[in-house]
Amino acid sequence: MSGGDRRVGVAMDFSKYSKRALRWAADNVFRDGDHLILLNVHPQSFYEGGEMQLWETTGSPFIRLNEFSDPTIMKKYGTKPDQETIDIINSLAEQKEITVLMKIFWGDAREKICQAIRDIPLSCIVMGSRGLGKIERVFLGSVSDYVVDTATCPVIVVKNVNEES
């Protein structure tokens, strides 16, 4: 990646919350020439050997948009992007002339997102929030809370809005 371009991360688990964050970032963050780095974290290892063991520590190699859109290639990584996400990303890539890459990690989402922020490194990260209440956050933990407290770059959390309003 060339010197002055921003590397904007979006935490993507293909939930409605992460898609909302991606749409928000598309409307409010990206500029021509930016790099969109989609970060996808699988909660646990599901493989027995080979290159996947190597990737557990460092994450997958960067996956380009044309590969990200190919179900056969994505099956190799155990990831299945939905068509809505692919459409959002294709539109963004065309309209803003950005480079889209995906990196997949295996392990604890909180730790792996912070690792990606440091290792890539990211200029900022955008992530969705499920809108957990205080008690739920205590028991389940909040990935966004952890990243906000730990990240070495600006973090934008796109909150869950009430679907009924």
pLDDT at residue 115 is higher than 70: yes
Q: Domain segments of the chain: what residues?
A: 7-158
* Residue 46, burial from CB neighbour count under 10 angstroms (0-12, 13-18, 19+): exposed
Q: Give the per-residue pLDDT at 165.
A: 36
* Tokens found for residue 23: 């749409």
Q: What pTM did the predictor assign? A: 0.86
Look up the CATH number of domain 7-158.
Answer: 3.40.50.620
Task: Give Dmax (Cα) for the chain.
Answer: 49
| 3-class DSSP string for 21-51 | HHHHHHHHCCCCCCEEEEEEEECCCCCCCCH
pLDDT at residue 53 is higher than 90: no
